[in-house]
Amino acid sequence: MNELENRLIEWRRDFHKHPELGFLEMRTSTIVANELETLGFDLEIGREVMSPGHCMGKPDDDVTKAHEKWARENGAVEKYMDRVSEGYTGIVATWDTGRPGPAIAYRVDMDALPIYESEDESHVPVQSGFRSLNTEMHACGHDAHTSIGLGLAVKIAENRDRLNGKVKLIFQPAEEGARGAISMVEAGAVDDVDCFIATHIGIGVEQDHFVASNNGFLATSKMDVRFKGVSSHAGGKPEEGKNAMLAAANAVINLNAIPRHSGGMTRINVGELHAGSGRNVIADEAKLMIETRGETSGLNDYMKTCAECVIEGAARMYQVDYEIELVGEGISAKGSTELAEILHGCAKENGLTSMVLSDESAGSEDATFFMDAVQKQDGYATYCVIGTDLAAGHHNERFDVNEKSLLQGVETLFASAVKLTNK
Amino acid sequence: MNELENRLIEWRRDFHKHPELGFLEMRTSTIVANELETLGFDLEIGREVMSPGHCMGKPDDDVTKAHEKWARENGAVEKYMDRVSEGYTGIVATWDTGRPGPAIAYRVDMDALPIYESEDESHVPVQSGFRSLNTEMHACGHDAHTSIGLGLAVKIAENRDRLNGKVKLIFQPAEEGARGAISMVEAGAVDDVDCFIATHIGIGVEQDHFVASNNGFLATSKMDVRFKGVSSHAGGKPEEGKNAMLAAANAVINLNAIPRHSGGMTRINVGELHAGSGRNVIADEAKLMIETRGETSGLNDYMKTCAECVIEGAARMYQVDYEIELVGEGISAKGSTELAEILHGCAKENGLTSMVLSDESAGSEDATFFMDAVQKQDGYATYCVIGTDLAAGHHNERFDVNEKSLLQGVETLFASAVKLTNK
Amino acid sequence: MNELENRLIEWRRDFHKHPELGFLEMRTSTIVANELETLGFDLEIGREVMSPGHCMGKPDDDVTKAHEKWARENGAVEKYMDRVSEGYTGIVATWDTGRPGPAIAYRVDMDALPIYESEDESHVPVQSGFRSLNTEMHACGHDAHTSIGLGLAVKIAENRDRLNGKVKLIFQPAEEGARGAISMVEAGAVDDVDCFIATHIGIGVEQDHFVASNNGFLATSKMDVRFKGVSSHAGGKPEEGKNAMLAAANAVINLNAIPRHSGGMTRINVGELHAGSGRNVIADEAKLMIETRGETSGLNDYMKTCAECVIEGAARMYQVDYEIELVGEGISAKGSTELAEILHGCAKENGLTSMVLSDESAGSEDATFFMDAVQKQDGYATYCVIGTDLAAGHHNERFDVNEKSLLQGVETLFASAVKLTNK
Amino acid sequence: MNELENRLIEWRRDFHKHPELGFLEMRTSTIVANELETLGFDLEIGREVMSPGHCMGKPDDDVTKAHEKWARENGAVEKYMDRVSEGYTGIVATWDTGRPGPAIAYRVDMDALPIYESEDESHVPVQSGFRSLNTEMHACGHDAHTSIGLGLAVKIAENRDRLNGKVKLIFQPAEEGARGAISMVEAGAVDDVDCFIATHIGIGVEQDHFVASNNGFLATSKMDVRFKGVSSHAGGKPEEGKNAMLAAANAVINLNAIPRHSGGMTRINVGELHAGSGRNVIADEAKLMIETRGETSGLNDYMKTCAECVIEGAARMYQVDYEIELVGEGISAKGSTELAEILHGCAKENGLTSMVLSDESAGSEDATFFMDAVQKQDGYATYCVIGTDLAAGHHNERFDVNEKSLLQGVETLFASAVKLTNK
């Protein structure tokens, strides 16, 4: 095993052991910043590369403050803490060769999930001592992504003479829930980018395989809805209540009854509903967690518009107020075939079994916002997948990757950087 | 049997045989007009005593025209037809003694119901040959009311010297569905009235009994609701429809879910719902027939306001338009005890078993609009009930009254006219 | 124009002028029977080729009797009337060459739609005097199908020596609503059939074009649902009612809320809902017309099973009874490529632009029952489309075909009969 | 202030400071037991006077165990702990004079509410240092009731010679939520009782006033409903879920739509609804907290029966399972006038302003089960109210009684014991 591979594994296990939820990746991002600055990258951090007004579903100040404390106590690099302590944890690290050439960007994501990691002895992180030490978990592989991003940085620094133009490494917060990308796009993170490459490990692709362009992402909107009515004693003064639970119940049913669309696949779900505060009290508050999806952004917009009408109507029925908060969003996107062909070539040269294109549905992703922005400015974009053996499916408490994939990912991505800046 | 009693029975049977629905009482009202003018009453007819803008649930022109033809062919008195042929069939007949004294008004109603009368041999109208000759039926006793009104007119004319002030006889159309009274109130029919007395036969009061003040009427609103959406092929383009049936279905359920009221009895019903035009077509139209009730006008207003919100919200949910048409309305009212005491006395003098006051619930009535108007101008009002043996309940196909009650009614009412104008 | 073409047009216009709804095609089928018997075909008629227990959505006896009278007065051929007068109007006409060879069946359908035909002067049937003389209309082209079937019979009789084996012509009733085919399948109409070919004109295929195998039919179920509760006076005794309208309203909403299926396209629609009998009466009856569809029979079964649960649950909620009547059904089917290739060849030889296979969604069809039955006994089946210029879409009041397609259809089908029986 | 009054206040403040929820009154009941045994009463405790199978809404074992620990640490009397440590905390204390005479029972309740007591300086328990030291609160006056019960015991013991027959003091657990009485009735606690008197302080009756018979209690049922479905990924496999949230939402709406009843007042409320476990997961579980009420037990039964049908139907609609747990119940009851007259006399003799009867609606109470049982065995029963000045309404965080009422209560009740056993 070469030295880089050792470092990839070390990083990945360290991040795995210290998972942080979206917009709270303070420990992770300060460590990333420190490594990158040491290597010689120019850094933009936090508000420099994130638009605060476009951060969806960001935790409130109390949660952020509490986590800041945790990060400081658990190994965050102090000198960067000021710039990320409010939860704006994104980083754009640029290597400018000074020579003419295109600007290439690679995106990796850093956040973990609110899943309690398995304590089973057969679970590798347990065996090898890097199981999560808090109640969150890297159950989607973003620990591996961050590690690959750092490995790519090392290769770039070490092989600076082989590159031209600029290479930008984008470390994105809050991909889970499709919340963080848009704020970096809005802050201009890819305004100068000619080629954009996002990366994911796993998602159904086998070990030693590679998909150069995954096109199956569904457009999605995540919404929190709050109905606010008036409580009243249900026995004594039923007529004085404005029943938020009844509004919510009507919304739930009729959201599910939004008509199917002849243009393609759509989805809707109300995942959680909580209403009321006591058996004999008219419920004055109800909260819903909703998700729409569509095969295209247009189909998702159709679902979202219908959903808004249903919610407004349900509130009106029971004379209650409502708020809809958009807490996550992803659009659909199609990779640029020209770019995918190049990555496909790099993967094959690195000994991987590669396919150019896959349309497998793969949930939703907010990297699509970067892709859409770059393509709109006539650039190229793709979303590639690095295959790996999974111990269990994504978002499962026993999820684990094969660390062999880390170096495979780094090498394929680095090869693409060389090829793309030397065309 | 005296001569007046013979005439009462004759009139009643003639009206029974020729029933006419609300706002179509052309034959009935022209016969009434003719009798009253002959007796020497001053007449105001049709638009003179009815505000067209306040006629709720009036049949459309085609129906009205078709019935005009029927009336002319079935004995309507031609010389009054011009004044009632558009369906404004109300009459106010005034006997002004020229002497000082109060203005006393008696209201009777003239309309029949869309019920097919029994053909059973044991049904008295069949036996005696005065069964309805069309598909409507006097199944609520308004034939008897009209007859009593004419009998009272005869007594007034014959005993003119015993009276002072003015006596007004109000022949109202369209009491069924609570539709006609308000238009006469709005036209000023009781603007000069000091004492108002409405009358009903039956409604649970036994033969030879009398109730001087029935206070159990529920306030009510009758509404027709029409949701208007957009049709679409349900298989081919489900997303292009705006589903009026779904709006209507939500309205139906949530109208029934309007909270009970601690202030007293409330009711709501959606009696009919019709939606859609074909199995594979998204329904672009839905119609509902709704009725709210309340123990008081305030309680009915509560139900109506909630109902309007539900309907608006249901329409909004499915992005459809809607219209609410008020097609009938009654308020609650309490009789004036002073006036009831006088009628109570008259009934007893005429040999009836009388009670001053009853709170038995007795459905809804739009005579309450007259009562409310008179009481608001510091007059007195009451709603009295003339007992009778019923062959079957009101609105039953075998309904029939005991004709003995006709003269009892006339004599009690006439006695009250004497007493009230000689105080 | 050759003589056969003249006859095709004559037949088609005569049928167009005398449209008959499903299970009422008495005039049409007796004329068909007469022509076929004259040509020398062996006939099986009515109950001989239809299973009464499998006729879905058959009109009731009163309607059937009334139409029998109409048919006799409008040109039905008397000698066959006894065999079709109860509404079993299907015919299987067999030409048995007596020589060895396969049994080939061609299906055409004969029924019209309850659509009032346009009276516009620009509408060809108006101009040329063959507009419908009743309130129904051949707005889907089954008049053309029947005519093509007769033309094919003429060609067979005239060219008897070129054929081997058997040719069966199946004239099916009640294709609209997907109601008639199953009863002929159950009666054994295709038990001996090796190759089955169903035909439709139009449905999106252009003039002079041909599709040898249309595979886009959706499986479908048509259901009539009746909720039966208990009526009660809504003001007086609301608690005594069992509200069928509320059950129906809940069913409507929740039928629309049946979850989407990841396996492919599904549809549901409640096209009509009628409930209640009076504004102040708790509705004791409600009727729904429902339709489910699925890209496959399995998906349609999923929708149907969910729908049955929703209906049962809605009834239970309000303590009412219910009945579900299946009034139409179609399954999905895929044509046999071997057979389609042969038809494709025949069409090209006849100068048509042909394609072997189309997956365009084309609504639902109960010919799929014949196809499924034949394929299950290891035969071959296909559903072909004869292109035509349409004046307006199917089921539109201005629908009209280009009669040039009639002979094109006959010749292609006849060519296939020759080829298939001479393999 | 006499000595008894001092002790009443001391007891009440001690109980106030140590509130215990229903079926957890271990500290309270062991202190009560100790006082009563010391006075010479015969005791029956726990399972001796409670039927375990009839304890509704009893906390689970973990909660009970945890509270047992708390009770031991906070002053419970150890020697009785074994008999109440499983949460069966009821006590029947009997004083048998040995002389002939009737058996008279007085019921007081001991449980507190899950309300966090006000920390406001103006709140008397804060000022005087007896504010709750945990998170529960005596916000309904049961601390006063228990104190009055002990005071009554003292008077009985001190004045034993003035009494005949037997006096039973019933200390009931879990009156809140109407859960504890039925288990004592079923265990036979009032099988030998001739006169039963339940007591409440406050509930709208002013200081120095007394109501000898409060008849306004509503029959009620408290139910917890749990729908259990199957979860599934909402985007990936929506058809594999069985959606418990949709069942619950339908239940909520249609429970509210249960028809009003012409026989009197009814109520229903779903106070809480919690469903689902994640935004993109089909909810496999939903919980509802429901309450029905009726002016009479018959009306409440009507609501309950309808509710059960709605719940069953909603579950069936979405193919989910359900459980209904009855967690509280009260019936309606009317006091015995003969008994009320005697209490009325005693109150007046003690200087209180008394009324025999009040029909004010006063929520629900499970003392009605005792009343019903005694009346069914031809005994007499009543529910009396001891007026007091309240600092804030019942169940309010600032609720407080005027302690002057304690002695007033004791003296009136004791006087009734003398009178009733000396008739």
Pick the CATH number of A219-330 from 2.60.260.20, 3.30.70.360, 3.40.30.10, 1.10.150.130: 3.30.70.360
Residue at token pair 């037809």:
B81
What would the pLDDT profile of A8-31 be if each residue is shown by its tens digit?
Answer: 999 999 999 999 999 999 999 999
Tell me whether A51 touches chain C (CB under 8 Å). Answer: no
What would the pLDDT profile of B265-302 be if each residue is shown by its tens digit?
Answer: 999 999 999 999 889 899 999 999 999 999 999 999 99
What would the pLDDT profile of D215-238 be if each residue is shown by its tens digit?
Answer: 888 999 999 999 999 988 898 889
Tell me whether B241 touches chain A (CB under 8 Å). Answer: yes
Q: Which CATH architecture has domain B219-328?
A: 2-Layer Sandwich (3.30)
C140 is in an annotated binding site: yes
Q: Examine the pLDDT at B179 and tell me if it is beyond 80.
A: yes
CA distance D201 to chain A (A): 19
> What pTM did the predictor assign?
0.89
Tell me whether A256 touches chain C (CB under 8 Å). Answer: yes
Instruction: Report the alpha-carbon distance of residue D331 to residue C50 in Å, rounded.
Output: 63
What would the pLDDT profile of B191-250 be if each residue is shown by its tens digit?
Answer: 999 999 999 999 889 999 999 999 888 999 999 999 999 988 898 889 999 999 999 999
CA distance B56 to chain C (A): 15
Tell me whether D260 touches chain B (CB under 8 Å). Answer: yes
> Which residues of D fall within a CB distance of 8 Å from C316?
309, 312-313, 316
Percent share of chain D, pLDDT over 70: 99
The reported pLDDT for the residue numbered C361 is 67
Tell me whether C160 touches chain D (CB under 8 Å). Answer: no
Tell me whether B239 touches chain C (CB under 8 Å). Answer: no
Q: Which residue of A has its CA nearest to C262?
A: A265
> Which residues of D fall within a CB distance of 8 Å from C250?
250, 254, 317
Angle at CA of residue C413, ends C407 and C417, nearest 5°: 140
Q: Which residue of B has its CA nearest to C363?
A: B235
The reported pLDDT for the residue numbered C360 is 76
Under an 8 A CB cutoff, do C278 and B271 touch?
yes
Nearest neighbour of A260 by CB, restricted to C253, C254, C260: C260
Tell me whether B265 touches chain D (CB under 8 Å). Answer: yes
Confidence label for D361 from pLDDT (cuts 50, 70 and 90)? low
What would the pLDDT profile of D23-56 be if each residue is shown by its tens digit?
Answer: 999 999 999 999 999 999 999 999 999 999 999 9
ipTM of the complex: 0.85
E strand or H helix at D157: helix D142-158
- What CATH class has B3-216+333-421? alpha beta
Averaged over A212-216, what is the pLDDT?
Answer: 90
What would the pLDDT profile of B351-388 be if each residue is shown by its tens digit?
Answer: 999 999 988 766 889 999 999 999 999 999 999 999 99
The reported pLDDT for the residue numbered C385 is 96
> Which residues of C fall within a CB distance of 8 Å from D237?
262
What would the pLDDT profile of B103-115 be if each residue is shown by its tens digit?
Answer: 999 999 999 999 8
The reported pLDDT for the residue numbered C362 is 63
- What CATH class has A3-217+333-421? alpha beta
- Contact, A329 vs A366, CB < 8 A? yes
Averaged over B399-412, what is the pLDDT?
Answer: 97
Under an 8 A CB cutoff, do D313 and C318 touch?
yes
The reported pLDDT for the residue numbered A52 is 95
Q: Which CATH architecture has domain C219-329?
A: 2-Layer Sandwich (3.30)
Q: What is the number of alpha carbons within 13 Å of residue C322 lying toward its C-beta?
A: 28
> Which residues of D fall within a CB distance of 8 Å from A275?
272-274
Nearest to B87 by CA among B109, B69, B65: B65
C neighbour chains, 3+ CB pairs within 8 Å: A, B, D
Q: Label residues D72-108 b or e (16+ Cβ within 10 Å = b).
A: beeebbeebbebbbbbbbbbbbbbebeeebbbbbbbb
Averaged over A162-190, what is the pLDDT?
Answer: 96
- C92: tokens are 């299987």
The reported pLDDT for the residue numbered B393 is 87
Q: Which residue of A has its CA nearest to B302?
A: A239
Q: Examine the pLDDT at B95 and tell me if it is beyond 90.
A: yes
Q: Which residue of A has its CA nearest to C293?
A: A260
The reported pLDDT for the residue numbered D314 is 98
Under an 8 A CB cutoff, do A254 and C253 touch?
yes
The reported pLDDT for the residue numbered B362 is 63
Classify residue A129 by burial, with Cβ atoms within 10 Å: 0-12, 13-18, 19+: exposed
Tell me whether A265 touches chain B (CB under 8 Å). Answer: no
Q: Examine the pLDDT at A361 and tell me if it is beyond 70.
A: no
Tell me whether A317 touches chain C (CB under 8 Å). Answer: no
Instruction: Report the alpha-carbon distance of residue C213 to residue C205 in Å, rounded.
Output: 12
Tell me whether C234 touches chain B (CB under 8 Å). Answer: yes
Averaged over B57-71, what is the pLDDT?
Answer: 96
CA distance B329 to chain A (A): 22
C142 is in an annotated binding site: yes
- Contact, B293 vs B267, CB < 8 A? yes
Confidence label for D1 from pLDDT (cuts 50, 70 and 90)? low
Test the D interface: residue of C237, C245, C312, C317 with most D CBs within 10 Å = C317
Instruction: Report the alpha-carbon distance of residue C230 to residue C403 in Å, rounded.
Output: 55
Averaged over B79-100, what is the pLDDT?
Answer: 97
List beta partners, residue B171.
Answer: B91, B108
What would the pLDDT profile of D256-270 be if each residue is shown by its tens digit?
Answer: 999 999 999 999 999
- Sequence ranges of the binding site of D: 140, 142, 176, 200, 395
Output phi, psi for B279, to 5 deg.
-55, -40
Nearest to A239 by CA among D361, B305, B222, C282: B305
Averaged over D284-309, what is the pLDDT?
Answer: 97
What would the pLDDT profile of D377-412 be if each residue is shown by its tens digit?
Answer: 999 999 999 999 999 988 889 999 999 999 999 999
Averaged over B11-23, what is the pLDDT?
Answer: 98
Q: Which residue of B has its CA nearest to D250?
A: B253
The parts of chain C modelled with pLDDT lower than 70 are 1, 361-362
B309 is in an annotated binding site: no
Instruction: Report the alpha-carbon distance of residue A107 to residue A172 in Å, rounded.
Output: 7
Q: Examine the pLDDT at B2 and tell me if it is beyond 90.
A: no
CA distance A337 to chain D (A): 27
Tell me whether D238 touches chain C (CB under 8 Å). Answer: yes
CA distance A257 to chain C (A): 4
What would the pLDDT profile of B18-60 be if each residue is shown by its tens digit?
Answer: 999 999 999 999 999 999 999 999 999 999 999 999 999 999 9
CA distance B289 to chain C (A): 6
The reported pLDDT for the residue numbered C235 is 87
Under an 8 A CB cutoff, do B317 and A314 touch?
yes
Confidence label for D312 from pLDDT (cuts 50, 70 and 90)? very high
Under an 8 A CB cutoff, do C273 and B269 touch?
no
Nearest neighbour of C314 by CB, restricted to D238, D246, D317: D317
Test the D interface: residue of B250, B252, B254, B256 with most D CBs within 10 Å = B256
Cβ contacts below 8 Å, chain B against chain C, sum to 132
C119 is in an annotated binding site: no
Under an 8 A CB cutoff, do B260 and D253 touch?
no
The reported pLDDT for the residue numbered D235 is 87
The reported pLDDT for the residue numbered D207 is 96
Tell me whether B275 touches chain C (CB under 8 Å). Answer: yes
The reported pLDDT for the residue numbered C308 is 98
The reported pLDDT for the residue numbered B137 is 95
Test the C interface: residue of A253, A254, A260, A317 with most C CBs within 10 Å = A260
Under an 8 A CB cutoff, do C313 and D309 touch?
no
Tell me whether B256 touches chain D (CB under 8 Å). Answer: yes
CA distance A303 to chain C (A): 13
Confidence label for A216 from pLDDT (cuts 50, 70 and 90)? confident
Under an 8 A CB cutoff, do D275 and A278 touch?
no
Averaged over D229-250, what is the pLDDT?
Answer: 93
Tell me whether C394 touches chain B (CB under 8 Å). Answer: no
> Which residues of D fall within a CB distance of 8 Å from B253?
253-254, 257
- Contact, C335 vs C327, CB < 8 A? no
Domain edges within chain B:
3-216+333-421, 219-328
Nearest neighbour of A257 by CB, restricted to C253, C265, C266: C253
Instruction: Report the alpha-carbon distance of residue C232 to residue C246 in Å, rounded.
Output: 14
Q: What is the dihedral of CA A413, A417, A420, A423, to 10 degrees?
A: -130
Secondary structure in 3-state letters for chain C: CCHHHHHHHHHHHHHHHCCCCCCCCHHHHHHHHHHHHHHCCEEEEHHHCCCHHHCCCCCCHHHHHHHHHHHHHCCCCHHHHHHHCCCCCCEEEEEECCCCCCEEEEEEECCCECCCCCCCCCCHHHHCCCCCCCCCECCCCHHHHHHHHHHHHHHHHHCHHHCCCEEEEEEECCCCCCCCHHHHHHCCCCCCCCEEEEEEECCCCCCCEEECCECCCCEEEEEEEEEECECCECCCCHHHCECHHHHHHHHHHHHHCCCCCCCCCEEEEEEEEEECCCCCECCCEEEEEEEEEECCHHHHHHHHHHHHHHHHHHHHHCCCEEEEEEEEEECCCCCCHHHHHHHHHHHHHCCCEEECCECCCCCCCCHHHHHHHHHHCCCEEEEEEECCCCCCCCCCCCCCCCCHHHHHHHHHHHHHHHHHHCC
